[in-house]
Structure 1
Amino acid sequence: MRRHVNQRQAQVLELVRARGTVRVADLARELGISPVTLRRDIEAMAARGEIRRMHGGISRVDPGRAPAPSAAAVEGGGAGAGLVVGMVVPTTEYHYADVVRGAREAVEARGARLTVGLTRYLPGEDRTQADRLLSTGAHGLLLTPNWEAGSPGPGESAWTAELPVPTVLVERWAPPGHPAASLDRVASDHAHGAARAVQHLVELGHRRIALASRATPTTARLRAGYEAAVSALGLEPAPPWPPAGPGPLSDADVFARTLDYLCEAVTAGGVTAALVHSDTDAIMLIPRLQARGVRVPEDLAVVTYDDEVAGMADVPLSAVAPAKHEVGARAAALLLDRLSAAAPETAPRQHLDLLPRLTIRS
């Protein structure tokens, strides 16, 4: 009997060393043994430091690397001590600079370490980076997948819910029914931010307000909040955008189309205010609007979304600022709490939306 146990555990060790990480359920099916039997083997092997236990799976122990601490050990040495958090983001610039900074500070404050993978919005790169971080020892993941609309399409990215470690979505939303909807999530409530901007402009007396936003993962949520506020406040709808035409547009084409739309919306459509995403677009648009006879703010009041550089415009712009730093910090804290729990897989999942802040500048 003991020889069979040794052979089985040797087979487990061989597979996990070859693959890096393996889900327990998949491994039990492949070996033709019960999950209960496999878990006993895993407990014994983890105690000997041969493998690392993770949420729903196991991974190899790299040479010279100590095995992952148990929950009890983590609690005894400070929650998060010795843990490695992997973070996959499109970039560490602009919006995500503060998100990553918030996550790093929260992780280091708990005695853990943050490692980052960048995707540059390349198709499929988010999964590649997630696998790489897992293979190098990440105990959990903060994940911002490359979802163009901020949420996955039908049948897209189900793999995010099948990762062998606890995972928190950051600045992404999965609709009810999608596998990723069961993951923890921390995100900016961009719909609320857009609605707050519309509300502010209404308080200033505007009744026809436009939204100008290039296509980003934030746009769908901005439009949802904008349209909801226009309806709830009984506003007159802004003129519709003209058809974009066939084929993708260059950045220059998008900018020119936005400029044409706003000029026409003001001069012929009765629009007197606009929410513009982002600050940089607004700062570039304003002098071009004025060159075409549209005065800002006399003819068109502008509120921007992001508040990266709105305060540095020659006429400082009021802006809505997502709580980017806090999003990163809350996501990291949520992940570390789950990793440090005695039974992380049984704790209730959380969807946390943080409200953006409106900064009014004269």
Structure 2
Amino acid sequence: MRLHVDRRHARVLELLRERGTLRVADLAGELGVSPVTLRRDVETLAVQGRLQRLHGAVVWPGDTAELPLPAARLIEGTVVGMVVPTTEYYYAEVVRGAREAVEERGARLVVALSRYLPGEDSVQVDRLLAAGADGLLLTPSWDRGVPGAGEGLRITERPVPVVLVERSAPHGHPAAALDRVRSDHAHGAAEAVRHLASLGHRTLTLAAQESPTSAQLRRGYEAAVEALGLRSVPEPTVSGRADTTEAERFERTFAFLRQAVEERGVSAAILHSDADAIVLVPRLRAHGVRVPEDLSVITYDDEVAALADLPLTAVAPAKRTVGRRAAELLLSRLAEPSGTHEPGQHLDILPELHLRASCGAPVSRAGRSPSV
């Protein structure tokens, strides 16, 4: 039998007095009422000052200061949903950082994968919300790292706090107002250029496979080349066929790099990604292009660069830190008292350059024009 509203209010306060903090969904189940009914009860009691509301939870007045910082009002049982394209390669560390931050605060991380499939982001978000997620960490499957025409327009309509991870939206897009945490890949590419310039290289190139990262890499690379007064030899633009295979793309990049060194004075290259570089470098060396004597190489991502036969200097995005900071930002949103809202945050985490054996000062090469 359902309790009368007054008795229900009394029972809510009794349970809250005993336990200090409770999730609204758990409390509704224990009292045998719908979450909508219980939210109305909570609203009434909050107005009366008899409890304090949080996102998805209630707290006994005065108890919030006893909870651990920095998520002072977060309670155990909070569920954080996370949608990423994959948990392999780059995103394994992002997820690990998020999980550590979430579990340190007594919450639980639930991960869903989109596999870059069209429409799968929304499917997985809906599934996480239906399962009771109190907030969302989202890495949408945007090919260039930002939404294309018509993409992501409903992302702000979710009923819980959302933080974008390794993604951003242009000004004016609905998602631009969301909290976000991402690697500053443009800064990482610029740091690679700066290091090569400090070694004496004056003619460089960038060979980057298309990915959500590549647009930022090109932007940072080009800005640094211009700022430092260097010469850049651009990789040929691919046009026509959209069904170019990985093998064909690899062969094209190899041929370009070899020609750039032997005929165009290039003495240093930034390669994206590690998987390309770890195969390209031995092949270049087998065809007479010495690394680092003829071509200094910096790769981007630093997933496997240190494991190459010739350990490769690499720019390393702080992937674990990105995941941790995104989770901490989301948890801080969930800990805000109802009716309050801190300004949104856009956090850019700077990658680091890890120096190894594939870089050195330029060395003159017989039969090759000097760098300019």
Give the alignment's TM-score, normalised by structure 2.
0.78
How many Å separate the matches in 2 of 1:225 and 1:290? 28
Alignment correspondent of 1:274: 269
Alignment correspondent of 1:100: 95
**2:44 equivalent to 1:86:** no
Q: Deviation per CA, 1:132-162, whole angstroms, max 9, x where unpaired? A: 1000000000000000000012331111111
Letter in 1 for 2:280: L
Alignment correspondent of 1:182: 177
Equivalent residues in 2 for 1:279-298 (5 A)?
279-298=274-293
Identity, % of aligned positions: 59
Alignment correspondent of 2:337: 342
Going from structure 1 to structure 2, the CA distance change for 1:54 and 1:140 (only over 3 Å counts) comes to farther
Offset of 1:263 from its aligned partner?
Answer: 1.1
Alignment correspondent of 1:218: 213
Contact 1:86/1:139 (8 A) holds in 2: yes
Letter in 1 for 2:57: P
**2:327 equivalent to 1:332:** yes
How many Å separate the matches in 1 of 2:309 and 2:284? 15
How many Å separate the matches in 1 of 2:96 and 2:352? 19
Alignment correspondent of 2:315: 320
Going from structure 1 to structure 2, the CA distance change for 1:161 and 1:267 (only over 3 Å counts) comes to same
Q: Secondary structure at the match of 1:70?
A: strand
- Alignment RMSD: 2.2
How many Å separate the matches in 1 of 2:58 and 2:256? 58
Offset of 1:299 from its aligned partner?
Answer: 1.1
Offset of 1:247 from its aligned partner?
Answer: 2.1
Structure 1 residue aligned with 2:57, among 56, 69, 74? 69
Offset of 1:42 from its aligned partner?
Answer: 7.2
Structure 2 residue aligned with 1:265, among 260, 263, 276? 260
Q: Which stretch of the first structure deviates more once superposed, 137-146 or 262-271?
A: 262-271
Q: Deviation per CA, 1:69-109, whole angstroms, max 9, x where unpaired? A: 23668935443322100000001111100000000000000
Going from structure 1 to structure 2, the CA distance change for 1:87 and 1:72 (only over 3 Å counts) comes to farther
Alignment correspondent of 2:40: 44
How many Å separate the matches in 1 of 2:336 and 2:327? 14
Q: Which has the larger radius of gyration?
A: 2
Letter in 2 for 1:211: L
How many Å separate the matches in 1 of 2:324 and 2:273? 23
Structure 1 residue aligned with 2:349, among 318, 337, 354? 354
Q: Which stretch of the first structure deviates more once superposed, 140-149 or 232-241?
A: 232-241
Contact 2:54/2:336 (8 A) holds in 1: no
Q: Secondary structure at the match of 2:270?
A: strand
Q: Which stretch of the first structure deviates more once superposed, 258-267 or 166-175?
A: 258-267
Q: Secondary structure at the match of 1:257?
A: helix
Letter in 2 for 1:279: D
Offset of 1:265 from its aligned partner?
Answer: 1.2
Q: Secondary structure at the match of 1:304?
A: strand
Alignment correspondent of 1:232: 227
Gaps of 5+ in 2: 1-35, 45-52, 358-372
Q: How many residues align?
A: 308
Alignment correspondent of 1:158: 153
How many Å separate the matches in 2 of 1:268 and 1:312? 30
Offset of 1:315 from its aligned partner?
Answer: 1.4
Letter in 2 for 1:355: L
How many Å separate the matches in 2 of 1:273 and 1:155? 39
Give the alignment's TM-score, normalised by structure 1.
0.80
Contact 1:198/1:226 (8 A) holds in 2: yes
Contact 2:205/2:235 (8 A) holds in 1: no
Letter in 2 for 1:208: T
Contact 2:206/2:234 (8 A) holds in 1: no
Going from structure 1 to structure 2, the CA distance change for 1:345 and 1:226 (only over 3 Å counts) comes to farther
Q: Deviation per CA, 1:23-58, whole angstroms, max 9, x where unpaired? A: xxxxxxxxxxxxxxxxx977425579xxxx997xxx
How many Å separate the matches in 2 of 1:160 and 1:253? 37
Offset of 1:316 from its aligned partner?
Answer: 1.1
Contact 1:302/1:317 (8 A) holds in 2: yes
**2:182 equivalent to 1:196:** no
Contact 2:274/2:300 (8 A) holds in 1: yes
Going from structure 1 to structure 2, the CA distance change for 1:246 and 1:72 (only over 3 Å counts) comes to farther
Gaps of 5+ in 1: 1-39, 56-67
Structure 1 residue aligned with 2:132, among 134, 137, 159? 137
Q: Secondary structure at the match of 2:232?
A: coil
